[in-house]
Amino acid sequence: MDDSGGPIVSPVAEGELEAAEREIMRWDSASLAAEDRMLFDSGDRSDAELFLRAIDEIRRSINGPIAVGSPRRLSSSSSSRSNAIQVAMARLEDEFRNILVSRVNEFEIESLVDLSSLSMSTEEDSAGGDISDAHGGDISDADGGEDGSLRASGSEGSSWVHRRKSSSYRSTRSIREIELLPEDAIADLRSIAERMIASGYGRECVQVYGSSRKAVVDLCFRHLGVEKLGIGDVQRLEWDVLEAKIRRWIRAARACIRIVFASEHRLCERVFDGLGGVPGGGDTPFSETVKGAAIQLFGFPEAISIGRRSPEKLFKILDLHDAISDLLPDIAAVFHSGSSGSIYTQATDIISRLAEAVRGILSELENAVLRDPSRIPVPGGTIHPLTRYVMNYISLISDYKQTLVELIVTWPSAISRFAGDDPGAGGPQIDFPEPENQSPLAAHLIWIIVILQHNLEDKANLYKDSALSHLFLMNNVHYIVNKVKGSPELRKLIGDDYLRKLTAKFRQSATSYQRATWVRILNCLRDEGIHVSGSFSSGVSKATLRERFRAFNAAFDEVHRTQATWFVPDTQLREELRISISEKLLPAFRSFLGRFRHHIENGRHPEMYIKYSVEDLEAALSDFFEGCPPSTLGRRRSN
């Protein structure tokens, strides 16, 4: 230091230093003349090179460290060389900002908008499920209205098309890095940053870099549809609106992580990597640029992860979980150190909360199925909307098997309360099959089917006609069996042993239906009580015989009229049931008619008693289980 406390100047030729000072002062930002053009805008690089050499010359002439902070705040007693550094840094700050703002590659935004619809994953994304019948069935009536029963809500699938962009990228895994600025602009930025940091102006350099690039990132977010939504905003949205936002968010997140943030990270590395003395560490410029945007991006799934849990949300939450999990290696690569590392931690925390939400939703589904209110029986004993909803739901669950096997690690907590393990728990006793090498996920799915059956049995009791009650159970358990058979993944999870039990259950219901309906009718065709003895008798009581025919006609008329309006929606099952009935009814009627018809035909008004032929009965059976009133039955007497 000299006597005045100023910096000591190295023994360099005073003329050269004065020339360097003049060169710097010529580009003083406060000068109107200097504002006419930017040093680094011109194709002629001589002025920029002279300016940088002048800065280097003066810096070398100062032995002591330069005070950190803006020289605008230095005292007027500072040396002329320190004043020259002050002017130079102000100029470099303006040049730095101008390059960042004006030299951006023009194709950047359009490329991002196009690429936002692409899947950056190396694997095809699994389409989200639609909780409607795979064959087009509408389950929108699965909700019970105001009674609080399960509501069916479709989870519309989303898919992403794979295309290749003509731009060149450096790929690491699924990252696509765009060159955000031209090579010469990046070289200029690095030259400026090196001198600003070395002169103690690293903080100003980082602030200018962060604010300039942040504006570009914010613009990309707007093009990609990333909204600024608080937790309260997200949780107030209707679910169908939120579903659409989730689909858009997944596409946008891929582009943000794998293109926007990755490209910003690459640019930051090229400008600042290896320059010692960056305030806060080497990744601070990158963190200043994207941290606010990253927090905004991940705030959306975070709000969903802590929101209200309901069954219709499961598949979109799984989509979110899988999307962020798939992005996690890329997040780790982009946000791997320093102050930006907290973004990776935030992402892992969100994945954990989404996983917990999935487990909670599955429990909510089980409780909702168990307690779905039983008030009004479905007409005709057809498939209940609850059955359609639950089976389509768990079929979609099986499509997410790979994820759910990892997330579902415990058995259903309700089993001990309802499967007889805890007699003091109260509530219904439900028979749960013994596990045989089941995964926890498989146990949950079987448990859902078990409690669905239990609920259906309660609903079957609402029918006053026991035959219709059995038909209702047959229809619904048959539907369950078909849904399990129709999904290879679900069948593998459920297992053939339990599938055989379900098959036996619907067959038992079919048999019970036939007994409840047809035993009474077939009893009309029995011989007991018809034959009599006596010298003046033909051996047949005509009064009893006429009563038998009259009872058969009345019973069959009633069953035909009623059960034509009952509905068996599965065409194969409907035909099999008709065949089974005809195999019992027609031979019995044919035999009875063959043995006794002449006794009726020899009497008065035989048409009052023999109303059907075998062919008439066969035709009438074709009306059964169609779900509509029967056609007029043409009757004729057999000759």
CA–CA gap between residue 254 and residue 256 (Å, rounded): 6
- CA-CA distances (angstroms) from residue 322 to 154, 440, 635? 19, 20, 65
- CA-CA distances (angstroms) from residue 48 to 39, 45, 59? 5, 5, 17
Alpha carbon 614 to its chain's center = 57
**Burial bucket for residue 489 (CB in 10 Å: 0-12, 13-18, 19+):** middle
Average pLDDT over residues 235-246: 90
**In degrees, to the nearest 5, what angle opens at C-alpha 221 toward C-alphas 94 and 210?**
25
CA–CA gap between residue 358 and residue 631 (Å, rounded): 51
CA–CA gap between residue 381 and residue 566 (Å, rounded): 6
Q: How far apart are the first and last CA of the chain?
A: 136
Give yes or no for residue 147 having a pLDDT over 60. Answer: no
Tokens of 2: 């000299």
366-404: burial string, b at 16+ Cβ within 10 Å, e else: bebbbebebeebbebbbbbbbbbbbbbbbbbbbbbbebb
Tokens of 268: 């930051």
Helix residue ranges per DSSP H, 306-428:
314-334, 341-371, 385-399, 401-407, 415-418
CA–CA gap between residue 132 and residue 178 (Å, rounded): 42
CA–CA gap between residue 355 and residue 266 (Å, rounded): 32
pTM for the model stands at 0.77
How much of the chain, in percent, has pLDDT values that exceed 70? 76
Average pLDDT over residues 586-600: 87
Give the residue carrying structure tokens 């609920």. 455
Alpha carbon 523 to its chain's center = 57
- CA-CA distances (angstroms) from residue 453 to 32, 413, 447? 85, 18, 10
pLDDT tens figures, 88-106: 888 889 989 999 998 887 6
pLDDT tens figures, 466-514: 999 999 999 999 999 999 999 999 999 999 999 999 999 999 999 999 9
Q: Count other C-beta atoms under 10 Å from residue 146's C-beta.
A: 6
Of 357-366, 424-433, 523-532, 564-573, the range with the lowest mean pLDDT is 424-433
Give yes or no for residue 144 having a pLDDT over 60. Answer: no
Contact 27, 39 (CB under 8 A): yes
30 pLDDT tier (thresholds 50, 70, 90): low
Tokens of 275: 């320059």
Give yes or no for residue 233 having a pLDDT over 70. Answer: yes
Give yes or no for residue 130 having a pLDDT over 50. Answer: no
Contact 102, 162 (CB under 8 A): no
* Single-letter residue type at 6: G
β-bridge mates for residue 175, sequence order: 172
Q: Is 559 helix (H, G, I), strand (E, B) or coil?
A: helix
β-bridge mates for residue 531, sequence order: 540
CA–CA gap between residue 174 and residue 165 (Å, rounded): 14
* Single-letter residue type at 215: A
Contact 277, 330 (CB under 8 A): no
Provide CB contacts within 8 A for 592, sequence distance 6+: 525
CA–CA gap between residue 513 and residue 507 (Å, rounded): 10
CA–CA gap between residue 361 and residue 354 (Å, rounded): 10
CA–CA gap between residue 233 and residue 224 (Å, rounded): 19
Of 248-252, 277-281, 472-476, 524-528, the range with the lowest mean pLDDT is 277-281
